[in-house]
Amino acid sequence: MTSAERIRAELIAAARELGADESVDPVIERPREPSLGDWTTNLAMTLARPLRKKPAEIAGLLRDRMRLADAHVERIDIAGPGFMNFWLDPARIADSVRDVIFADADFGRTNAGNSEPVNIEFVSANPTGPLHVGHGRQAALGDAIATLLEWTGWKVSREFYYNDAGVQIENLSKSVNAWVNSLEGATLEIPEGGYHGEYIREIAERFVQSGAKKNDESLREFAVAALRAEQDLDLQAFGVKFDRYFLESSLYSDGKVESTVQELRKAGMTYESEGALWLKTSEFGDDKDRVMRKRDGTYTYFVPDVAYHVTKWDRGFHRAIDVQGADHHSTTTRVRAGLQALDMGIPSDYPEYVLHQMVTVMKSGEEVKISKRAGSYVTVRDLINEVGRDAVRFFFLMRKSDSQLVFDIDVALKQSEENPVYYVQMAHARMCGIFRVGEIDRESYSLEGIDLGVLREPEEQELINALADFPREIAGAAAALEPHRIATYLGETARLAHLWYHKHHVLGEPEPIMRARLALARSAQIVIRNGLGILGISAPERM
Protein backbone atom coordinates (compact mmCIF):
# COMPACT_ATOMS: atom_id res chain seq x y z
CA MET A 1 0.00 0.00 0.00
CA THR A 2 1.43 3.39 -1.00
CA SER A 3 1.62 6.33 1.40
CA ALA A 4 -1.32 7.99 -0.39
CA GLU A 5 -3.42 4.83 -0.13
CA ARG A 6 -2.54 4.53 3.56
CA ILE A 7 -3.47 8.17 4.20
CA ARG A 8 -6.77 7.68 2.41
CA ALA A 9 -7.57 4.54 4.40
CA GLU A 10 -6.86 6.32 7.69
CA LEU A 11 -8.98 9.29 6.66
CA ILE A 12 -11.91 6.97 5.99
CA ALA A 13 -11.48 5.22 9.34
CA ALA A 14 -11.15 8.50 11.26
CA ALA A 15 -14.16 10.04 9.46
CA ARG A 16 -16.33 7.07 10.35
CA GLU A 17 -15.24 7.37 14.00
CA LEU A 18 -16.55 10.92 13.88
CA GLY A 19 -19.92 9.71 12.58
CA ALA A 20 -19.46 10.12 8.83
CA ASP A 21 -21.50 7.93 6.50
CA GLU A 22 -20.06 4.56 5.43
CA SER A 23 -19.82 5.85 1.87
CA VAL A 24 -17.31 8.59 2.79
CA ASP A 25 -14.88 8.91 -0.13
CA PRO A 26 -11.98 11.33 0.49
CA VAL A 27 -10.06 12.78 -2.45
CA ILE A 28 -6.28 12.74 -2.01
CA GLU A 29 -4.30 14.81 -4.47
CA ARG A 30 -1.08 16.73 -4.93
CA PRO A 31 -1.17 20.35 -3.70
CA ARG A 32 -0.91 22.98 -6.41
CA GLU A 33 2.23 24.28 -4.72
CA PRO A 34 4.91 21.81 -3.55
CA SER A 35 5.55 24.12 -0.56
CA LEU A 36 2.13 23.06 0.79
CA GLY A 37 3.13 19.44 1.31
CA ASP A 38 3.15 16.14 -0.55
CA TRP A 39 -0.59 15.34 -0.34
CA THR A 40 -3.70 17.31 0.50
CA THR A 41 -7.41 16.66 1.06
CA ASN A 42 -10.53 18.78 1.47
CA LEU A 43 -12.36 16.01 3.35
CA ALA A 44 -12.95 18.20 6.42
CA MET A 45 -14.87 20.72 4.30
CA THR A 46 -17.05 18.04 2.70
CA LEU A 47 -17.91 16.70 6.17
CA ALA A 48 -18.82 20.09 7.66
CA ARG A 49 -22.53 19.92 6.81
CA PRO A 50 -23.24 16.28 7.77
CA LEU A 51 -21.21 16.50 10.99
CA ARG A 52 -22.43 20.03 11.80
CA LYS A 53 -18.97 21.27 12.75
CA LYS A 54 -16.54 23.80 11.34
CA PRO A 55 -14.11 22.35 8.77
CA ALA A 56 -11.02 23.38 10.75
CA GLU A 57 -12.39 21.65 13.85
CA ILE A 58 -13.14 18.49 11.85
CA ALA A 59 -9.63 18.58 10.34
CA GLY A 60 -8.14 18.65 13.83
CA LEU A 61 -10.32 15.76 14.98
CA LEU A 62 -9.37 13.73 11.92
CA ARG A 63 -5.68 14.40 12.49
CA ASP A 64 -5.93 13.26 16.12
CA ARG A 65 -7.49 9.94 15.11
CA MET A 66 -5.20 9.03 12.21
CA ARG A 67 -2.47 6.42 12.72
CA LEU A 68 0.10 7.16 10.06
CA ALA A 69 3.36 5.62 11.19
CA ASP A 70 3.26 3.13 8.31
CA ALA A 71 2.58 5.93 5.83
CA HIS A 72 5.80 7.77 6.81
CA VAL A 73 3.95 11.04 7.41
CA GLU A 74 6.14 13.56 9.25
CA ARG A 75 3.45 16.12 9.94
CA ILE A 76 -0.06 17.26 9.06
CA ASP A 77 -0.83 20.96 8.66
CA ILE A 78 -4.33 22.41 8.66
CA ALA A 79 -4.52 25.31 6.25
CA GLY A 80 -7.08 27.84 5.07
CA PRO A 81 -10.70 26.89 5.70
CA GLY A 82 -9.81 23.29 6.57
CA PHE A 83 -7.41 21.72 4.06
CA MET A 84 -5.26 18.96 5.51
CA ASN A 85 -1.72 18.97 4.08
CA PHE A 86 0.46 15.91 4.62
CA TRP A 87 4.25 15.98 4.66
CA LEU A 88 6.10 12.71 4.05
CA ASP A 89 9.54 11.66 5.23
CA PRO A 90 11.90 12.74 2.39
CA ALA A 91 13.72 9.42 2.59
CA ARG A 92 10.44 7.61 1.99
CA ILE A 93 9.73 9.79 -1.03
CA ALA A 94 13.17 8.96 -2.42
CA ASP A 95 12.43 5.24 -2.12
CA SER A 96 10.06 5.66 -5.07
CA VAL A 97 13.17 5.80 -7.26
CA ARG A 98 13.88 2.22 -6.29
CA ASP A 99 10.36 1.15 -7.26
CA VAL A 100 10.72 2.71 -10.73
CA ILE A 101 14.07 1.10 -11.47
CA PHE A 102 13.05 -2.34 -10.26
CA ALA A 103 9.89 -2.32 -12.43
CA ASP A 104 11.66 -0.68 -15.40
CA ALA A 105 9.61 -1.25 -18.58
CA ASP A 106 6.65 -2.45 -16.50
CA PHE A 107 6.51 0.55 -14.18
CA GLY A 108 2.95 1.85 -14.36
CA ARG A 109 1.31 -1.44 -15.37
CA THR A 110 -1.63 -2.78 -13.36
CA ASN A 111 -4.19 -5.54 -13.81
CA ALA A 112 -7.33 -3.50 -13.14
CA GLY A 113 -8.97 -4.91 -16.28
CA ASN A 114 -8.48 -8.50 -15.11
CA SER A 115 -7.67 -9.59 -18.68
CA GLU A 116 -11.27 -8.97 -19.80
CA PRO A 117 -11.68 -8.52 -23.57
CA VAL A 118 -12.39 -5.08 -25.00
CA ASN A 119 -12.90 -4.12 -28.64
CA ILE A 120 -11.65 -0.72 -29.74
CA GLU A 121 -12.80 0.41 -33.16
CA PHE A 122 -11.17 3.47 -34.67
CA VAL A 123 -10.33 5.19 -37.96
CA SER A 124 -13.01 3.14 -39.81
CA ALA A 125 -12.77 5.37 -42.87
CA ASN A 126 -14.70 4.93 -46.09
CA PRO A 127 -12.23 3.48 -48.62
CA THR A 128 -12.80 6.45 -50.91
CA GLY A 129 -9.52 8.31 -50.46
CA PRO A 130 -6.31 8.67 -48.45
CA LEU A 131 -6.69 9.25 -44.72
CA HIS A 132 -7.12 12.91 -43.82
CA VAL A 133 -5.79 14.61 -40.68
CA GLY A 134 -9.07 13.99 -38.87
CA HIS A 135 -8.54 10.27 -39.40
CA GLY A 136 -5.02 10.79 -38.13
CA ARG A 137 -6.23 12.30 -34.88
CA GLN A 138 -8.61 9.37 -34.53
CA ALA A 139 -5.83 6.87 -35.21
CA ALA A 140 -3.63 8.44 -32.53
CA LEU A 141 -6.51 8.54 -30.04
CA GLY A 142 -7.67 4.98 -30.67
CA ASP A 143 -4.18 3.53 -30.55
CA ALA A 144 -3.27 5.38 -27.35
CA ILE A 145 -6.55 4.42 -25.65
CA ALA A 146 -5.92 0.79 -26.63
CA THR A 147 -2.41 0.93 -25.17
CA LEU A 148 -3.63 2.57 -21.97
CA LEU A 149 -6.16 -0.22 -21.51
CA GLU A 150 -3.47 -2.82 -22.19
CA TRP A 151 -1.33 -1.21 -19.50
CA THR A 152 -4.22 -1.52 -17.06
CA GLY A 153 -4.82 -5.19 -17.71
CA TRP A 154 -7.45 -5.31 -20.47
CA LYS A 155 -7.20 -7.78 -23.34
CA VAL A 156 -7.49 -5.36 -26.25
CA SER A 157 -8.51 -6.00 -29.84
CA ARG A 158 -7.97 -3.12 -32.27
CA GLU A 159 -10.51 -3.11 -35.11
CA PHE A 160 -10.93 -1.16 -38.35
CA TYR A 161 -14.46 -1.14 -39.82
CA TYR A 162 -14.36 -0.55 -43.58
CA ASN A 163 -17.50 1.22 -44.84
CA ASP A 164 -17.23 -0.47 -48.23
CA ALA A 165 -20.94 -0.30 -49.06
CA GLY A 166 -23.37 2.48 -49.86
CA VAL A 167 -23.59 5.64 -51.95
CA GLN A 168 -19.98 6.76 -51.34
CA ILE A 169 -18.63 3.59 -52.89
CA GLU A 170 -20.93 3.96 -55.88
CA ASN A 171 -19.67 7.51 -56.37
CA LEU A 172 -16.08 6.28 -56.06
CA SER A 173 -16.66 3.68 -58.77
CA LYS A 174 -18.31 6.26 -61.05
CA SER A 175 -15.43 8.69 -60.49
CA VAL A 176 -12.83 6.08 -61.44
CA ASN A 177 -14.93 5.14 -64.47
CA ALA A 178 -15.01 8.78 -65.55
CA TRP A 179 -11.21 8.88 -65.52
CA VAL A 180 -10.95 5.54 -67.31
CA ASN A 181 -13.19 6.93 -70.05
CA SER A 182 -11.06 10.07 -70.16
CA LEU A 183 -7.89 8.02 -70.58
CA GLU A 184 -9.62 6.30 -73.47
CA GLY A 185 -10.34 9.63 -75.17
CA ALA A 186 -13.66 10.77 -73.72
CA THR A 187 -14.28 14.12 -72.04
CA LEU A 188 -13.67 13.95 -68.28
CA GLU A 189 -16.99 14.28 -66.46
CA ILE A 190 -16.82 13.62 -62.72
CA PRO A 191 -20.37 12.77 -61.51
CA GLU A 192 -22.19 14.83 -58.89
CA GLY A 193 -20.98 13.73 -55.47
CA GLY A 194 -17.88 12.17 -57.05
CA TYR A 195 -14.22 12.40 -56.05
CA HIS A 196 -11.77 14.79 -57.68
CA GLY A 197 -8.36 14.03 -56.16
CA GLU A 198 -5.30 13.17 -58.19
CA TYR A 199 -5.39 9.73 -56.59
CA ILE A 200 -8.55 8.89 -58.61
CA ARG A 201 -6.62 9.39 -61.85
CA GLU A 202 -3.82 7.15 -60.50
CA ILE A 203 -6.33 4.37 -59.73
CA ALA A 204 -7.86 4.69 -63.20
CA GLU A 205 -4.41 4.43 -64.81
CA ARG A 206 -3.61 1.29 -62.82
CA PHE A 207 -6.99 -0.20 -63.73
CA VAL A 208 -6.35 0.36 -67.44
CA GLN A 209 -2.84 -1.12 -67.09
CA SER A 210 -4.27 -4.19 -65.34
CA GLY A 211 -6.22 -5.13 -68.46
CA ALA A 212 -9.31 -5.98 -66.38
CA LYS A 213 -12.68 -6.00 -68.13
CA LYS A 214 -14.49 -2.77 -67.33
CA ASN A 215 -17.86 -3.09 -65.62
CA ASP A 216 -19.45 -1.68 -62.46
CA GLU A 217 -18.35 -4.60 -60.28
CA SER A 218 -14.74 -4.75 -61.50
CA LEU A 219 -14.32 -0.98 -61.13
CA ARG A 220 -15.76 -1.03 -57.62
CA GLU A 221 -13.61 -3.95 -56.47
CA PHE A 222 -10.44 -2.50 -58.00
CA ALA A 223 -11.00 0.98 -56.57
CA VAL A 224 -11.87 -0.25 -53.06
CA ALA A 225 -8.86 -2.61 -53.01
CA ALA A 226 -6.55 0.17 -54.22
CA LEU A 227 -7.74 2.60 -51.58
CA ARG A 228 -7.65 0.02 -48.82
CA ALA A 229 -4.00 -0.51 -49.76
CA GLU A 230 -3.49 3.27 -49.80
CA GLN A 231 -4.98 3.62 -46.33
CA ASP A 232 -2.84 0.73 -45.11
CA LEU A 233 0.24 2.69 -46.21
CA ASP A 234 -1.07 5.73 -44.33
CA LEU A 235 -1.48 3.63 -41.19
CA GLN A 236 1.97 2.06 -41.59
CA ALA A 237 3.49 5.52 -41.84
CA PHE A 238 1.71 6.38 -38.62
CA GLY A 239 2.78 3.18 -36.89
CA VAL A 240 -0.77 1.94 -36.26
CA LYS A 241 -1.64 -1.76 -36.50
CA PHE A 242 -5.02 -3.48 -36.28
CA ASP A 243 -5.92 -6.96 -35.12
CA ARG A 244 -8.94 -7.18 -37.42
CA TYR A 245 -10.39 -5.48 -40.47
CA PHE A 246 -14.17 -5.83 -40.70
CA LEU A 247 -16.01 -5.17 -43.98
CA GLU A 248 -19.43 -3.51 -43.88
CA SER A 249 -20.28 -5.38 -47.08
CA SER A 250 -19.96 -8.69 -45.21
CA LEU A 251 -22.92 -7.71 -43.03
CA TYR A 252 -25.07 -7.79 -46.16
CA SER A 253 -23.52 -10.84 -47.81
CA ASP A 254 -23.73 -12.83 -44.55
CA GLY A 255 -27.35 -11.76 -44.01
CA LYS A 256 -26.56 -10.08 -40.70
CA VAL A 257 -28.30 -6.82 -41.61
CA GLU A 258 -31.47 -8.59 -42.71
CA SER A 259 -31.55 -10.90 -39.67
CA THR A 260 -31.08 -7.92 -37.33
CA VAL A 261 -34.00 -6.11 -38.98
CA GLN A 262 -36.15 -9.23 -38.67
CA GLU A 263 -35.30 -9.55 -34.96
CA LEU A 264 -36.32 -5.92 -34.42
CA ARG A 265 -39.62 -6.58 -36.19
CA LYS A 266 -40.25 -9.67 -34.05
CA ALA A 267 -39.58 -7.62 -30.93
CA GLY A 268 -42.36 -5.23 -31.98
CA MET A 269 -39.95 -2.31 -32.20
CA THR A 270 -40.68 -1.34 -35.83
CA TYR A 271 -43.62 -0.08 -37.85
CA GLU A 272 -44.43 0.82 -41.45
CA SER A 273 -45.28 4.41 -42.36
CA GLU A 274 -45.12 6.45 -45.58
CA GLY A 275 -43.69 3.47 -47.43
CA ALA A 276 -40.73 3.18 -45.05
CA LEU A 277 -39.82 0.95 -42.10
CA TRP A 278 -39.27 2.85 -38.85
CA LEU A 279 -37.54 1.96 -35.57
CA LYS A 280 -39.05 3.16 -32.29
CA THR A 281 -35.86 4.89 -31.18
CA SER A 282 -37.88 7.48 -29.22
CA GLU A 283 -38.55 4.77 -26.63
CA PHE A 284 -34.81 4.71 -25.91
CA GLY A 285 -33.97 8.38 -25.56
CA ASP A 286 -33.98 9.61 -29.17
CA ASP A 287 -35.95 12.78 -29.92
CA LYS A 288 -38.02 10.96 -32.57
CA ASP A 289 -38.33 7.62 -34.32
CA ARG A 290 -35.94 6.95 -37.20
CA VAL A 291 -36.28 5.40 -40.63
CA MET A 292 -34.56 2.03 -40.97
CA ARG A 293 -35.51 1.08 -44.51
CA LYS A 294 -36.22 3.82 -47.02
CA ARG A 295 -38.92 3.79 -49.67
CA ASP A 296 -36.43 2.56 -52.27
CA GLY A 297 -35.70 -0.53 -50.14
CA THR A 298 -32.19 0.51 -49.03
CA TYR A 299 -31.26 0.76 -45.37
CA THR A 300 -30.24 3.96 -43.60
CA TYR A 301 -26.65 4.18 -42.37
CA PHE A 302 -27.26 3.25 -38.72
CA VAL A 303 -28.91 -0.12 -39.48
CA PRO A 304 -25.68 -1.91 -40.51
CA ASP A 305 -24.01 -0.20 -37.52
CA VAL A 306 -26.50 -1.93 -35.21
CA ALA A 307 -25.89 -5.27 -36.94
CA TYR A 308 -22.13 -4.71 -36.70
CA HIS A 309 -22.29 -4.13 -32.95
CA VAL A 310 -24.37 -7.26 -32.53
CA THR A 311 -21.42 -9.13 -34.04
CA LYS A 312 -19.10 -7.51 -31.49
CA TRP A 313 -21.31 -8.65 -28.63
CA ASP A 314 -21.61 -12.14 -30.14
CA ARG A 315 -17.82 -12.32 -30.49
CA GLY A 316 -17.50 -11.93 -26.72
CA PHE A 317 -16.68 -8.23 -26.57
CA HIS A 318 -19.00 -7.16 -23.77
CA ARG A 319 -17.04 -3.94 -23.62
CA ALA A 320 -16.67 -2.02 -26.87
CA ILE A 321 -15.29 1.46 -27.48
CA ASP A 322 -15.81 3.41 -30.72
CA VAL A 323 -13.57 6.38 -31.50
CA GLN A 324 -15.33 8.61 -34.03
CA GLY A 325 -15.56 12.17 -35.24
CA ALA A 326 -17.92 14.58 -33.52
CA ASP A 327 -20.14 14.50 -36.62
CA HIS A 328 -21.21 11.01 -35.49
CA HIS A 329 -22.85 12.38 -32.35
CA SER A 330 -26.37 11.43 -33.45
CA THR A 331 -25.20 7.92 -34.30
CA THR A 332 -24.58 7.11 -30.65
CA THR A 333 -28.24 7.40 -29.68
CA ARG A 334 -29.55 5.47 -32.70
CA VAL A 335 -27.11 2.58 -32.48
CA ARG A 336 -27.67 2.20 -28.75
CA ALA A 337 -31.44 2.40 -29.28
CA GLY A 338 -31.27 -0.36 -31.89
CA LEU A 339 -29.23 -2.58 -29.58
CA GLN A 340 -31.65 -1.99 -26.69
CA ALA A 341 -34.63 -2.70 -28.89
CA LEU A 342 -33.21 -6.16 -29.64
CA ASP A 343 -33.50 -7.01 -25.93
CA MET A 344 -30.31 -9.11 -25.94
CA GLY A 345 -29.11 -8.06 -22.51
CA ILE A 346 -26.75 -5.45 -23.95
CA PRO A 347 -26.16 -2.54 -21.49
CA SER A 348 -27.68 0.82 -22.37
CA ASP A 349 -24.23 2.46 -22.59
CA TYR A 350 -22.94 -0.08 -25.12
CA PRO A 351 -20.85 0.76 -27.03
CA GLU A 352 -18.85 3.51 -25.33
CA TYR A 353 -18.05 6.44 -27.60
CA VAL A 354 -15.05 8.76 -27.72
CA LEU A 355 -15.88 11.63 -30.07
CA HIS A 356 -13.21 14.00 -31.33
CA GLN A 357 -13.24 17.37 -32.99
CA MET A 358 -11.54 18.03 -36.30
CA VAL A 359 -8.06 19.37 -36.95
CA THR A 360 -7.01 22.69 -38.46
CA VAL A 361 -3.53 22.66 -39.99
CA MET A 362 -1.59 25.93 -39.99
CA LYS A 363 1.67 26.86 -41.73
CA SER A 364 3.31 30.28 -41.89
CA GLY A 365 0.25 31.74 -40.14
CA GLU A 366 -2.21 30.47 -42.75
CA GLU A 367 -4.55 27.50 -42.81
CA VAL A 368 -3.50 24.61 -45.07
CA LYS A 369 -6.63 23.17 -46.67
CA ILE A 370 -5.65 20.91 -49.55
CA SER A 371 -3.26 18.13 -50.49
CA LYS A 372 -1.52 17.76 -53.82
CA ARG A 373 -2.86 14.22 -54.19
CA ALA A 374 -6.16 14.31 -52.30
CA GLY A 375 -7.12 17.73 -53.66
CA SER A 376 -9.75 18.80 -51.15
CA TYR A 377 -8.06 18.03 -47.84
CA VAL A 378 -4.73 17.53 -46.05
CA THR A 379 -3.72 13.88 -45.71
CA VAL A 380 -2.17 12.41 -42.60
CA ARG A 381 0.79 11.22 -44.69
CA ASP A 382 1.40 14.78 -45.88
CA LEU A 383 1.66 15.85 -42.26
CA ILE A 384 3.95 12.95 -41.31
CA ASN A 385 6.22 13.73 -44.25
CA GLU A 386 6.33 17.37 -43.15
CA VAL A 387 7.10 17.05 -39.43
CA GLY A 388 7.58 13.35 -38.61
CA ARG A 389 5.45 10.68 -36.95
CA ASP A 390 6.38 11.59 -33.36
CA ALA A 391 5.33 15.22 -33.66
CA VAL A 392 2.07 14.30 -35.40
CA ARG A 393 1.14 11.77 -32.73
CA PHE A 394 2.00 14.06 -29.81
CA PHE A 395 0.18 17.07 -31.26
CA PHE A 396 -2.91 14.96 -31.96
CA LEU A 397 -2.90 13.68 -28.38
CA MET A 398 -1.97 16.75 -26.36
CA ARG A 399 -5.52 18.14 -26.26
CA LYS A 400 -8.69 16.56 -24.96
CA SER A 401 -10.48 14.76 -27.79
CA ASP A 402 -13.60 16.93 -27.68
CA SER A 403 -11.60 20.16 -28.07
CA GLN A 404 -10.71 21.79 -31.37
CA LEU A 405 -7.11 21.13 -32.39
CA VAL A 406 -4.90 23.56 -34.27
CA PHE A 407 -1.83 21.83 -35.66
CA ASP A 408 0.89 24.43 -36.21
CA ILE A 409 3.51 22.96 -38.56
CA ASP A 410 5.99 25.73 -37.74
CA VAL A 411 5.87 24.89 -34.02
CA ALA A 412 6.12 21.15 -34.70
CA LEU A 413 9.37 21.73 -36.62
CA LYS A 414 11.05 23.81 -33.91
CA GLN A 415 13.87 22.31 -31.89
CA SER A 416 13.14 24.26 -28.74
CA GLU A 417 10.96 24.18 -25.66
CA GLU A 418 8.17 25.76 -27.74
CA ASN A 419 7.73 22.35 -29.38
CA PRO A 420 6.14 20.12 -26.71
CA VAL A 421 7.26 16.77 -28.14
CA TYR A 422 10.82 18.00 -28.64
CA TYR A 423 10.82 19.28 -25.05
CA VAL A 424 9.75 15.90 -23.64
CA GLN A 425 12.11 13.89 -25.85
CA MET A 426 14.98 16.21 -24.92
CA ALA A 427 14.35 15.50 -21.24
CA HIS A 428 14.70 11.79 -21.96
CA ALA A 429 17.86 12.34 -24.02
CA ARG A 430 19.39 14.43 -21.23
CA MET A 431 18.84 11.70 -18.66
CA CYS A 432 20.49 9.22 -21.04
CA GLY A 433 23.31 11.68 -21.75
CA ILE A 434 24.37 11.78 -18.10
CA PHE A 435 25.23 8.08 -18.27
CA ARG A 436 26.85 8.40 -21.68
CA VAL A 437 29.14 11.25 -20.58
CA GLY A 438 29.99 9.40 -17.37
CA GLU A 439 30.64 6.20 -19.35
CA ILE A 440 28.25 4.33 -17.06
CA ASP A 441 26.09 1.42 -18.21
CA ARG A 442 22.58 2.74 -17.70
CA GLU A 443 20.75 -0.52 -18.23
CA SER A 444 22.66 -2.44 -15.56
CA TYR A 445 23.08 0.40 -13.07
CA SER A 446 22.87 -1.17 -9.62
CA LEU A 447 21.06 0.27 -6.62
CA GLU A 448 23.08 -1.84 -4.22
CA GLY A 449 24.51 0.23 -1.40
CA ILE A 450 22.92 3.49 -2.60
CA ASP A 451 21.45 5.82 0.01
CA LEU A 452 18.50 7.42 -1.76
CA GLY A 453 17.78 9.41 1.38
CA VAL A 454 20.34 12.01 0.28
CA LEU A 455 17.92 13.14 -2.45
CA ARG A 456 16.47 15.94 -0.32
CA GLU A 457 16.74 18.99 -2.57
CA PRO A 458 13.29 20.50 -3.33
CA GLU A 459 13.74 19.92 -7.07
CA GLU A 460 14.63 16.27 -6.40
CA GLN A 461 11.68 15.67 -4.13
CA GLU A 462 9.26 17.28 -6.59
CA LEU A 463 10.62 15.25 -9.50
CA ILE A 464 10.46 12.02 -7.50
CA ASN A 465 6.85 12.71 -6.52
CA ALA A 466 5.98 13.22 -10.18
CA LEU A 467 7.65 9.95 -11.16
CA ALA A 468 5.84 8.09 -8.39
CA ASP A 469 2.52 9.43 -9.72
CA PHE A 470 2.96 7.74 -13.11
CA PRO A 471 0.90 4.58 -12.32
CA ARG A 472 -1.89 6.76 -10.92
CA GLU A 473 -1.83 8.94 -14.05
CA ILE A 474 -2.08 5.87 -16.29
CA ALA A 475 -4.97 4.45 -14.27
CA GLY A 476 -6.85 7.76 -14.43
CA ALA A 477 -6.24 8.26 -18.15
CA ALA A 478 -7.32 4.70 -18.92
CA ALA A 479 -10.47 4.92 -16.83
CA ALA A 480 -11.49 8.21 -18.47
CA LEU A 481 -10.30 7.16 -21.97
CA GLU A 482 -8.27 10.38 -22.09
CA PRO A 483 -4.72 9.91 -23.39
CA HIS A 484 -4.15 13.67 -23.36
CA ARG A 485 -3.60 13.28 -19.61
CA ILE A 486 -0.42 11.35 -20.32
CA ALA A 487 0.79 14.02 -22.74
CA THR A 488 0.14 16.68 -20.09
CA TYR A 489 1.85 14.57 -17.43
CA LEU A 490 4.91 14.08 -19.65
CA GLY A 491 5.16 17.80 -20.30
CA GLU A 492 5.16 18.58 -16.58
CA THR A 493 7.55 15.74 -15.72
CA ALA A 494 9.91 16.89 -18.47
CA ARG A 495 9.81 20.40 -17.00
CA LEU A 496 10.82 19.06 -13.59
CA ALA A 497 13.55 16.90 -15.12
CA HIS A 498 15.00 19.86 -17.05
CA LEU A 499 14.88 22.04 -13.92
CA TRP A 500 16.69 19.42 -11.84
CA TYR A 501 19.24 18.82 -14.62
CA HIS A 502 20.13 22.51 -14.85
CA LYS A 503 20.22 23.16 -11.11
CA HIS A 504 22.01 20.11 -9.73
CA HIS A 505 25.14 18.39 -10.98
CA VAL A 506 25.32 14.63 -11.05
CA LEU A 507 28.77 13.62 -12.25
CA GLY A 508 31.69 14.82 -10.16
CA GLU A 509 29.66 15.14 -6.96
CA PRO A 510 30.61 13.22 -3.78
CA GLU A 511 30.10 9.48 -4.28
CA PRO A 512 26.88 9.08 -2.22
CA ILE A 513 25.19 12.04 -3.93
CA MET A 514 26.40 11.12 -7.42
CA ARG A 515 25.17 7.53 -7.14
CA ALA A 516 21.76 8.58 -5.79
CA ARG A 517 21.37 11.22 -8.52
CA LEU A 518 22.31 8.71 -11.19
CA ALA A 519 19.48 6.54 -9.86
CA LEU A 520 17.11 9.51 -10.08
CA ALA A 521 18.20 10.19 -13.66
CA ARG A 522 17.64 6.53 -14.52
CA SER A 523 14.14 6.52 -13.00
CA ALA A 524 13.21 9.74 -14.84
CA GLN A 525 14.46 8.20 -18.10
CA ILE A 526 12.35 5.07 -17.52
CA VAL A 527 9.13 6.96 -16.77
CA ILE A 528 9.46 9.36 -19.72
CA ARG A 529 10.28 6.47 -22.04
CA ASN A 530 7.31 4.43 -20.82
CA GLY A 531 4.98 7.42 -21.14
CA LEU A 532 6.11 8.21 -24.67
CA GLY A 533 5.70 4.54 -25.55
CA ILE A 534 2.06 4.59 -24.44
CA LEU A 535 1.47 7.44 -26.90
CA GLY A 536 3.30 5.56 -29.67
CA ILE A 537 6.22 8.02 -29.66
CA SER A 538 9.93 7.22 -29.71
CA ALA A 539 12.28 8.07 -26.84
CA PRO A 540 15.58 9.08 -28.49
CA GLU A 541 18.80 8.89 -26.50
CA ARG A 542 20.42 11.75 -28.43
CA MET A 543 18.84 14.92 -29.82
pLDDT single digits (tens) 264-322: 999 999 999 999 999 999 999 899 999 999 999 999 989 999 999 999 999 999 999 99
Q: What confidence tens digit (pLDDT) does each residue in 377-390 have?
A: 899 999 999 999 99
Residue 373 has pLDDT above 80, yes or no: no
Q: Which long-range contacts (CB under 8 A, 24 or more apart) does 410-415 make?
A: 410/362, 410/363, 410/364, 412/386, 412/387, 413/386, 413/387, 415/543
The closest alpha carbon to 293, from 283, 284, 304, belongs to 304
> 3-class SS at 89?
coil
How far apart (Å, rounded) are the C-alpha atoms in residues 271 and 321? 30
What pLDDT is attached to residue 216?
Answer: 87
Asked whether 339 and 350 are in contact (CB, 8 A), the reply is yes
Asked whether 2 and 86 are in contact (CB, 8 A), the reply is no
Q: What is the mean pLDDT of residues 57-86?
A: 92
Q: What is the mean pLDDT of residues 518-542?
A: 98
Q: What is the dihedral of CA 325, 327, 332, 335, to 10 degrees?
A: -100
Q: What is the mean pLDDT of residues 408-430?
A: 97
What pLDDT is attached to residue 2?
Answer: 82
Residue 21 has pLDDT above 80, yes or no: yes
What pLDDT is attached to residue 91?
Answer: 85
Letter string b/e over residues 140-166, b meaning 16 or more CB atoms within 10 A of that residue's CB: bbbbbbbbbbbbbebebbbbbbbbbbe
Q: What is the mean pLDDT of residues 336-345?
A: 96
How far apart (Å, rounded) are the C-alpha atoms in residues 529 and 531? 5
Residue 165 has pLDDT above 90, yes or no: no
How far apart (Å, rounded) are the C-alpha atoms in residues 465 and 379? 41
The closest alpha carbon to 533, from 405, 425, 412, belongs to 425
pLDDT confidence bin for 72, thresholds 50/70/90: confident
Residue 71 has pLDDT above 80, yes or no: no
Q: What confidence tens digit (pLDDT) does each residue in 184-199 have?
A: 999 999 989 899 889 9
How far apart (Å, rounded) are the C-alpha atoms in residues 527 and 499? 16
What pLDDT is attached to residue 375?
Answer: 76
Sign of CA dihedral 496, 501, 506, 507: positive
Residue 503 has pLDDT above 90, yes or no: yes
Q: What is the mean pLDDT of residues 17-35?
A: 93
Q: Which one has a higher pLDDT value, 217 or 484?
A: 484
Q: Which one has a higher pLDDT value, 530 or 35?
A: 530
Q: What is the mean pLDDT of residues 176-185?
A: 93
Q: Are strands 155-162 and 359-363 parallel, antiparallel or unpaired?
A: unpaired
The closest alpha carbon to 390, from 433, 431, 432, 428, belongs to 428
Residue 70 has pLDDT above 80, yes or no: no
pTM: 0.92
The proportion of the chain whose per-residue pLDDT surpasses 90, expressed as a percent, equals 87
What pLDDT is attached to residue 327?
Answer: 86
pLDDT confidence bin for 328, thresholds 50/70/90: confident
| Mean of all residue pLDDT scores within the chain | 95
- Laid out side by side, the sheet with 244-247 consists of 244-247, 155-162, 117-121, 320-325, 352-356
Residue 374 has pLDDT above 80, yes or no: no
DSSP string, 373-429: TTSSS-BHHHHHHHH-HHHHHHHHHSS-TTS-EEEEHHHHT--STTSHHHHHHHHHH
Q: What confidence tens digit (pLDDT) does each residue in 152-162 have?
A: 999 999 999 99
